[in-house]
């Protein structure tokens, strides 16, 4: 099974090197000048945040990532719009759009997905997440009870998959109802977006076992990851399915461990976050406020590469990586970590064979 590496696209702002503040990089504001007094920018207002995201996508493609993950941030630009923009800005990357099933009709979402697949050559994927904060759900106009959120996701995925692949499809559930559904003509026969789900409780695991292609785990020490992988595979086996495992992990890699720790401590001091270790090189909460990742792998290029390779050996095959700043770090990780990781994984596979 191949290992895939995604780079997270920050939809609500990006940092800069040695600067923990989240910024809408590229956009100019008269009230909050982006540069210090005396510094001019010849681009003026012709360059905006979408241009910055375009640069991140191209950096990830040049650095040989396999895909982009477009984060669903309540304060950020709409993930599907960003995904469409970046799909046309890249040639080979899978674009994994994170969104909430509260976005509306499963049939309409499926039709959107079909169009994405048509213009991107089948490079579109779905990461369906749940907004844990009830107040935020209400602000988004979502009044579904917490205990029904997983039911809605399951119905959403079920309906979307069937209207893409079938005609005369009927379905009646708690949240969705379709009569004689399915696409005709050029919209028929398109690739169903791979579905990535997440969650840390038993109900989320059971949902993924039934309908997900990939379950994305939060970063934690390796022993805990192994336990969760075992449980997910057991649940999938009971319903006659197989499921792949992903992880959401930020990375901070430098030439030496000392340099990496120095930069991590500086970021922690500037942001007021992540001042403790979760386990060895895994720092908890360091960049969570900016990226959503619960932990960051901190170390030298070799140490970070070995840490990722250990996760791959444990059964993780989809890595959603990120960092602050996203643009500059995409190049750094792509040039200095991914080649080592791929070499380590290849070596392990050869020894196993």
State how far the alpha carbon of 120 is from the alpha carbons of 49, 157, 158, 176, in Å: 22, 21, 23, 28
Q: How far apart are CA 12 and CA 4, in angstroms?
A: 25
Judge whether residue 334 has pLDDT over 70: yes
Q: How far apart are CA 149 and CA 235, in angstroms?
A: 20
Q: Using CB atoms within 10 A of its CB, is residue 314 exposed (0-12), middle (13-18) or buried (19+)?
A: middle
Q: How far apart are CA 115 and CA 210, in angstroms?
A: 26
Q: For the chain, how far is it from start to end, CA to CA, in angstroms?
A: 13
Q: How far apart are CA 293 and CA 11, in angstroms?
A: 14
If phi > 0 it is left, if psi is from -120 to 50 it is alpha, else beta; for residue 112 that is alpha
The mean pLDDT value of the chain amounts to 91
3-state secondary structure of 114: helix
- Written as six digits, the tokens of 70 are 């477009």
Tokens 């905006």 -> residue: 48
Select from 228, 231, 237, 243 the least CA-distant residue to 311. Answer: 228
What was the pLDDT predicted at 189?
86
State pLDDT tens for residues 10-52. 999 999 888 888 888 877 665 555 555 665 565 566 788 999 9
4-352: CATH superfamily: Luciferase-like domain (3.20.20.30)
> Backbone phi, then psi, for 81, in 5-degree steps?
-65, -45
The model's pTM: 0.92
Q: How far apart are CA 353 and CA 335, in angstroms?
A: 28
Q: How far apart are CA 130 and CA 100, in angstroms?
A: 6
DSSP 127: E
Q: How confident is the model at residue 353 (pLDDT cuts 50, 70, 90)?
A: very low
Q: Length of the chain, please?
A: 353
> Backbone phi, then psi, for 169, in 5-degree steps?
-90, 130
CA dihedral 268, 269, 273, 279 (to 10 degrees): 40
Q: How far apart are CA 226 and CA 310, in angstroms?
A: 11
3-state secondary structure of 289: helix
State pLDDT tens for residues 196-226. 999 999 999 999 999 999 999 999 999 999 9
Decide if 191 contacts 122 (C-beta within 8 A).
Answer: yes
What was the pLDDT predicted at 273?
81
- Helix crossing, 222-238 with 202-211: angle to 10°? 50
State pLDDT tens for residues 228-250. 999 999 999 999 999 999 999 99
Contacts of 240 (CB under 8 A, 6+ apart): none
String of b and e for 318-331 (b: at least 16 CB within 10 Å)?
bbbbbbbbbbbbbe
What was the pLDDT predicted at 321?
98
Decide if 130 contacts 147 (C-beta within 8 A).
Answer: no
Decide if 125 contacts 113 (C-beta within 8 A).
Answer: no
3-state secondary structure of 315: coil
DSSP 186: G
What was the pLDDT predicted at 247?
98
Tokens 């595979």 -> residue: 233
- Written as six digits, the tokens of 21 are 């503040």
State pLDDT tens for residues 252-310. 999 999 999 999 999 999 988 865 555 679 999 999 999 999 999 999 999 999 999 99
Q: How far apart are CA 341 and CA 131, in angstroms?
A: 33
């Amino acid at each position: 099974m191949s290992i895939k590496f995604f780079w997270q696209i920050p939809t609500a702002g990006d940092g800069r090197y040695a600067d923990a503040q989240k910024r809408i990089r590229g956009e100019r504001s008269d009230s909050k000048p982006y540069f210090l007094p005396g510094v001019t920018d010849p681009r003026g207002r012709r360059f905006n945040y979408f241009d910055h995201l375009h640069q991140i996508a191209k950096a990830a493609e040049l650095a040989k990532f396999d895909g982009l993950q477009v984060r669903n941030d309540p304060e950020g630009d709409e993930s599907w719009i960003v995904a469409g923009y970046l799909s046309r800005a890249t040639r080979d990357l899978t674009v994994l759009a994170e969104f909430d099933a509260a976005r509306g009709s499963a049939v309409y979402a499926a039709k959107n997905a079909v169009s994405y697949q048509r213009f991107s050559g089948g490079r579109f994927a779905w990461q369906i997440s749940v907004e844990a904060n009830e107040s935020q759900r209400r602000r988004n106009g979502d009044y579904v009870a917490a205990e029904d959120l997983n039911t809605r996701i399951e119905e959403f995925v079920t309906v979307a998959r069937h209207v893409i692949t079938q005609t005369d499809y009927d379905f009646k559930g708690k949240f969705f109802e379709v009569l004689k559904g399915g696409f005709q003509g050029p919209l028929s026969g398109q690739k169903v977006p791979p579905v990535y789900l997440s969650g840390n409780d038993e109900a989320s695991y059971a949902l993924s076992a039934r309908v997900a292609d990939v379950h994305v785990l939060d970063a934690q020490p390796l022993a805990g990851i192994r336990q969760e992988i075992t449980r997910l595979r057991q649940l999938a086996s009971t319903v006659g399915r197989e499921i792949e495992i992903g992880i959401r992990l930020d990375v901070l890699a430098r030439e030496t461990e000392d340099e990496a720790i120095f930069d991590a401590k500086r970021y922690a001091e500037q942001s007021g976050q992540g001042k403790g270790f979760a386990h060895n090189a895994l720092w908890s909460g360091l960049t969570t406020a900016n990226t959503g990742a619960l932990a960051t792998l901190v170390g030298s290029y070799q140490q970070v590469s070995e840490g990722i390779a250990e996760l791959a050996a444990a059964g993780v095959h989809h890595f959603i990586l990120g960092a602050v700043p996203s643009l500059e770090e995409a190049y750094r990780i792509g040039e200095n970590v991914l080649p080592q990781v791929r070499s380590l994984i290849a070596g392990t596979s050869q020894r196993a064979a």
